[in-house]
Amino acid sequence: MAILETGHAVQVSTVQRWLAQPSRLAKTTRICLPHKDISDDTASLLSALTLQCCHLQMLQLPGNRIGDHGGQDCRIVQMWQHLAA
C-alpha cells in the first residue's frame, strides 16, 4: 500500500496530476499533506481524489487554509468512506 505525500505546496494542478494516476490511487492507504497551503478549491478536488482511493484509511490535512466549503467536501468523503468500511 502507498502513502500520498509531497514536499511542495498542493495546488489544483497537483491534484489533477494525481487523478491521472488511477493505479497509484487504488493502492493509496494514507494521504498525508500537512501545511501544504491547500485552499478550498484544492480541497474540493482532493475530496474527489479520495473517492478513487479504495483502500484509504487516513486523511491528514492539518495546518492548511481550508475553510467551511472545502472542509465540508472533505467531511462528506470521510463519511462515505466510513459507511463503505
Rounded distance, CA 81 to CA 12, Å? 22
More confident: 79 or 13: 13
Angle between helices 40-50 and 68-84 (to 10 degrees): 10
pLDDT for the residue numbered 71: 53
Q: What is the pLDDT of residues 7-40, one digit of tens each?
A: 999 999 999 999 999 999 999 999 999 999 998 8
More confident: 76 or 40: 40
Number of H-type helices and E-type strands within the chain = 4, 3
Beta bridge partners of 3: 30
CATH superfamily of 2-84: Ribonuclease Inhibitor (3.80.10.10)
Domain residue spans of the chain:
2-84
Q: What are phi and psi of 2, to 5 degrees?
A: -125, 155
